[in-house]
A and B are shown apart, each in its own frame.
Chain A
Amino acid sequence: MRKKLLFKKGNEAIAEAAILAGCRFYAGYPITPQNEIPEYMARRMPEAGGVFIQAESEIASINMVYGASAAGVRAMTSSSSPGISLMQEAISFLAGAELPAVIVNIQRGGPGLGNITASQGDYFQAVKGGGHGDYRCLVYSPFNLQESWDLTMLAFDKADEYRIPVMLLGDGVIGQMMEPFRPTKYVRPRLPKKDWIVNGCKGRAPRVIRSLCMGPGELEQKNYDLCKKYDAIRKKEVIFDEHNVDDAGLVVVAFGVAARIALSAVKELREQGRKVGLFRPVTLFPFPEKRIAEMARKGKRFMVVEMNAGQMVEDVRLAVSGASGVTFYGRPGGVVFTPEELYKKIKAEYSRKK
């Protein structure tokens, strides 16, 4: 069994999983800490019979993805925070044109050019739209390389199923680290036929892919249609993970690499008999608000831990809706906190009188 494990960087895991999931178009522009993705794609994509383009910019990359997707190809781009900011206009266009695409953000410190260390400062941008208009991306947040592999594959399926841009929100640690993971085989689910692609209209009526809706009521209707899609996603696509929450008085809420670091601290506190648990949203949109509300009603307190100045904590507060206490601990600016640091903070919060 062990022999079947792969030992690669997170970025390489994402790139290989994308190829196996049928991604045949990749365009990107270099930026640390995600450079292993285009590097890997440059080598691997020609072998797979696909197209790799190092574009002249992030804006060009994402617009090429738009074009490839409109032609029916599974398409992906990747970048890190500042590059993803540049892509926001086209992501909004993808949502408006109802085109599937996979966008990987291996986050670094911001704002601005920031630094190259791992961060979770793009939560708001990823889950609240990022670009203009009423749209959402389905957002997956892997916390180890197994999930990076599996969620990349899932991202392509969900993008096609809902005809939406799907984002994989990683960070510098997940992208750069290596650990063993099982290269799960890609199994293509039953998906709706792509009867909307523009691949030459000889012998059939022409099709148009656009996000401009100028007719009376047309854009409003389009938005309601999108809302229906997002409601279905909220109902069906929530994924979360829990460790020892059932008897916990304090539940630490964290996503991505922060959850991993928090897990070390929570495990240690558990070993000392302290009733602390970890709740980890795997999908950030849709957010697992129902489960959090349920825990809040049972009187559990929450401590949100993020590598930013406090973003997901707002969604936790909305879900808790005053039913219980929510506190926050974070480090902004591309600082990766240590398990020792979180251990102290969580222990102090656990011992604090309510």
Chain B
Amino acid sequence: METRIIIAGSGGQGILFLGKVLSFAGMLEGKEVTWFPSYGAEMRGGTANCTVILSGSMIGSPVVLSPDILVIMNKASFDKFQPRLKKHGLLFYDRSLVPAPRVRPDVRPVPVPATEIASSAGNTRSANMVMMGAVLAETGLVKRSSALKVIEGPSKSTGGNGIRLNTNSMLKGMQYIEDTKGSHR
């Protein structure tokens, strides 16, 4: 079983970091993983995206045309990537930044007010971790404990507050999914 994910948004939103946490956590669980970033000119503003693949067996291509899961953090990326999502694919998007989107009828949308939740957690910049929590709660791609282990690792250099913010944001994202399960979504 192979799960292909594209995460996309604006430069500075922590798109690549979200992908790194997800793939690193997958690795800790013994999965095969790849992480491939968009690199180059996009880094100087504009959009950023990365492709993460989690698999039970050897991964061929680290790039895909049609992912199983999309995680979208801005309007431009919504418009660019939604057409590529697989039929019945999962479409996570930040409802705070993509208001009133036109969602394809053949995909499963999961709107998450990630930026608002992050703001209430203390910093809009942790919207990526809210989104990650939502993805984990909805899909169970990797365990909560694995993701927490990763967050506590590489962001150590930014000090304890950064880790706490990321952890809290992720847990709030998970909570949001639990609270809204079976509702209008």
Are B39 and A176 closer than 8 Å at their CB atoms?
Answer: yes
Checking A172, A180, A257, A339 against B27 with a beta-carbon cut-off of 8 angstroms, the contacting residue is A180
Are A263 and B33 closer than 8 Å at their CB atoms?
Answer: no
Checking B23, B30, B37 against A2 with a beta-carbon cut-off of 8 angstroms, the contacting residue is B30
Contact partners of B28 in chain A: CB under 8 A: 2
Are B62 and A260 closer than 8 Å at their CB atoms?
Answer: yes
A243-265, CB < 8 A from B: 257, 260-265
User: Whole-angstrom distance between the alpha carbons of A172 and B59 in the complex?
Assistant: 18
Checking A33, A173, A264 against B60 with a beta-carbon cut-off of 8 angstroms, the contacting residue is A264
- B172 close to chain A: CB less than 8 A: no
B63-71, B75-83, B100-108, B131-139: which lies at the interface? B63-71
User: Whole-angstrom distance between the alpha carbons of A257 and B61 in the complex?
Assistant: 8
- A40 close to chain B: CB less than 8 A: no
User: Whole-angstrom distance between the alpha carbons of A339 and B62 in the complex?
Assistant: 9
Checking B20, B64, B66 against A178 with a beta-carbon cut-off of 8 angstroms, the contacting residue is B20
Checking B24, B32, B34, B40 against A177 with a beta-carbon cut-off of 8 angstroms, the contacting residue is B34
- B41 close to chain A: CB less than 8 A: yes
Contact partners of A260 in chain B: CB under 8 A: 60-62
User: Whole-angstrom distance between the alpha carbons of A260 and B24 in the complex?
Assistant: 21
Task: Please list the residues of chain A having a beta carbon within 8 angstroms of any beta carbon in chain B.
Answer: 2, 5, 7, 32-33, 116-117, 172-173, 176-180, 257, 260-265, 267, 336, 338-341
Task: Please list the residues of chain B having a beta carbon within 8 angstroms of any beta carbon in chain A.
Answer: 20, 23-24, 27-28, 30, 32-37, 39-41, 59-66
- Beyond A32-B40, A338-B61, 18 additional contacts (C-beta under 8 Å) are A33-B40, A116-B40, A172-B39, A173-B62, A173-B63, A178-B20, A178-B23, A179-B32, A260-B60, A261-B61, A263-B60, A264-B59, A265-B60, A336-B63, A339-B65, A340-B64, A340-B65, A341-B65
Please name the 7 residue pairs, one residue from A and one from B, whose CB atoms are nearest each other, closest first.
A264-B60, A338-B65, A263-B60, A261-B61, A178-B35, A264-B61, A116-B40
